A and B are shown apart, each in its own frame.
Chain A
């Protein structure tokens, strides 16, 4: 759907008229990201991150395809083919750093995009499907990033693969069989490396497909906005082009500036030096950590150190290993339920004083989890991650539903126009609803 006042595509050049009749692709673009797509006039910079995420996906696909022209997925040569890219291939160092730092940039952008959604209630009706598809994208991104990190076959690659595939062995009964099936062996080896490469090449295109669905779903209700009040009349919107092409373009320039600063001046700042040591199945590095974007979830995994037993007995209900794995996956899966856990009819955190407090508490909690996840498995980090993990689930299952039920929101503006201009002529003229 688009709003009734959307500009209509009118090709002028005869060639474009001809094309429009045969394959209306320019019309499609015009209505999707052109002057034919009306967008709320008050979007702030938090709404830039969707387009930035799309741009990151393009960076990853382009740099990835060229890296694959030089990389070899065999345990004998994977590490040296990576070094060959770094030292011998023309511009290879830059392409590899662009891809590795591109993954980090992608996660920075997507985390901003997700936390924008948390704050502004973007997941609420009628945008649940956009949100659900977003969570699917996030899960696919995590799988892709994990498998990509295995490819250079350094120490962190190998032990990351060992630990993460080991998660599946926690599943009762079928776990060990599943684990061997995933690896094609008893420990990560050639079979695993090869299939990870195959899937790492495939998944970004699956992500691309889901992103198309995500944006399709977005274009049905159109974007929400910082007030969370839906579009009412033409004065609430501006055409996407030139207004948001310009705003997104500016955001993109700022993003590229920061990304290039990382890429050219601190290309290894986010990487782990141990990954420049070839994989050694006999020796686990003293301190293994995943990439920074997995830290909060890794901390939740490690927070479970004791079995769940029937109190005062030794009868184990759920072993610690399974508890940790379940908790780690639930930490993301709970997002699927978010549209139904937050029952407040008010979308935007701007008008929800209590929600705002718990929102920032959650942000701090996730940062604390992230910090612990990147630290060694020692006290005090284990205890801190236990408290922070408990709070994380408390937030979603108890605090958020309670706050939505009990808080009194502040008054909403009548319309987007009123919130921007202080008054809305159309509103005063229009008959009361």
Chain B
């Protein structure tokens, strides 16, 4: 600031200086602005998932009746989970694929629990736009890669439920789960 500018600032009401009214205007508009922004917070965040929706939940699944080659659909947080008992052929098919060929590179090992490679447990929610892929039920199409086929826009998953073809960007999600006994899986 030059000398004269400083002098003007110091002298309220000077011809060109900062007047008391300028200060009041800036303060009033700022206060109103901050107030308006503060009001937006509850208006926007009320739309986010509510406490009951977020509440932790878990599902227990008895897997003793699932023979190799079969799969079932369980329910977790109102969404389908695929529990699939892989056959040795399906496992070796999944292991054969070089990682460099995958859109979302992961091995079958990484997607299953240690020593339980035959149990492929994933969300049944296509990572494209969220449809339930086909391939669990008897006679449902499993797609070109023998895993799952999403009828909505044609995404194809392999026997490790990894995305191989179509618009989906990611492999089917593996939820948190533990084997609470050799025949019971606790999801969530």
- Residues on A lying within 8 angstroms of B by beta carbon are 159, 162-167, 169, 180-187, 189, 191, 195, 281-288, 301-302, 304-305, 307, 314, 316, 319-322, 324, 376-378, 382
Contacts and interface: CB of A to CB of B under 8 A. Distances in A.
Contacts, number: 100
- By Cβ-Cβ distance, the 3 closest A-B pairs, closest first, are A166-B129, A377-B154, A284-B131
Given A166-B128, A166-B129, A181-B48, A187 B154 contact: no
B130 to A, nearest CB: 4
B153 to A, nearest CB: 5
Contacts of A307: 103, 169
Contact of A378 (B75, B78, B80, B154): B154
A166 B167 CA distance: 13
Interface of B: 47-50, 53, 73, 75, 77-80, 100, 103, 124-125, 128-134, 150-154, 165-169
Contact of B48 (A184, A282, A314): A184
A189 B53 contact: yes
A167 B169 CA distance: 12
Given A166-B128, A314-B100, A377 B53 contact: no
A182 B167 contact: no
B49 A191 contact: yes
Given A159-B131, A189-B78, A281-B79, A319 B169 contact: yes
A390 B44 CA distance: 38
B130 A304 contact: no
Taking chain B's interface residues, is the majority helix, strand, or loop, or is none over half, making it mixed? loop
B84 to A, nearest CB: 16
A186 B124 CA distance: 13
Given A305-B154, A321-B169, A377-B151, A191 B79 contact: no
Contacts of A186: 49, 53, 77, 79
A319 B128 CA distance: 11
A78 B151 CA distance: 26
A191 B78 CA distance: 13
A282 B73 contact: yes
Contact of B167 (A187, A283, A288, A321): A321
Contacts of B49: 180-181, 183-186, 191
Contact of B130 (A162, A181, A185, A376): A162
Given A191-B53, A288-B152, A283 B132 contact: yes
Contact of A187 (B50, B73, B79): B79
A282 B132 contact: yes
Contacts of B150: 284
B92 to A, nearest CB: 24
Contact of A304 (B100, B124, B151, B167): B167
Given A184-B53, A195-B47, A377-B153, A288 B168 contact: no
B78 A187 contact: yes
Given A162-B129, A187-B79, 6 more contacts: A189-B78, A282-B124, A288-B131, A304-B167, A305-B166, A321-B169
Contacts of A316: 103
Nearest to A162: B130
A182 B128 CA distance: 17
A292 B28 CA distance: 52
A284 B137 CA distance: 13
A93 to B, nearest CB: 31
Contact of A302 (B53, B75, B167): B167
Contacts of A164: 129
A185 B152 contact: no
Nearest to B125: A187
A307 B163 CA distance: 12
Contact of B50 (A159, A162, A191): A191
Contacts of B53: 184-186, 189, 191
Nearest to A298: B153
A321 B168 contact: yes
Contacts of B79: 186-187, 281
A273 to B, nearest CB: 16
B47 A167 contact: no
A163 B47 contact: no
A324 B155 CA distance: 14
A405 B110 CA distance: 58
B168 A287 contact: no
Contacts of B134: 286
Contact of B129 (A163, A182, A185, A378): A163
B24 to A, nearest CB: 35
Residue from A166, A284, A314, A322 with most neighbouring chain B CB atoms (10 Å): A284
Nearest to A287: B151
B47 A182 contact: yes
B166 A284 contact: no
Contacts of A304: 167
Residue from A182, A314, A316 with most neighbouring chain B CB atoms (10 Å): A314
B177 to A, nearest CB: 17
A320 B104 CA distance: 13
A187 B130 contact: yes
A320 B167 contact: yes
Residue from B78, B128, B134, B167 with most neighbouring chain A CB atoms (10 Å): B167
A321 to B, nearest CB: 5
Given A163-B131, A195-B47, A307-B103, A286 B153 contact: no
A164 B125 CA distance: 14
Given A167-B129, A180-B49, A284 B167 contact: no
A378 to B, nearest CB: 7
A281 B78 contact: yes
11 contacts: A180-B48, A181-B47, A184-B48, A187-B130, A195-B47, A282-B75, A283-B132, A288-B151, A288-B152, A305-B165, A377-B152
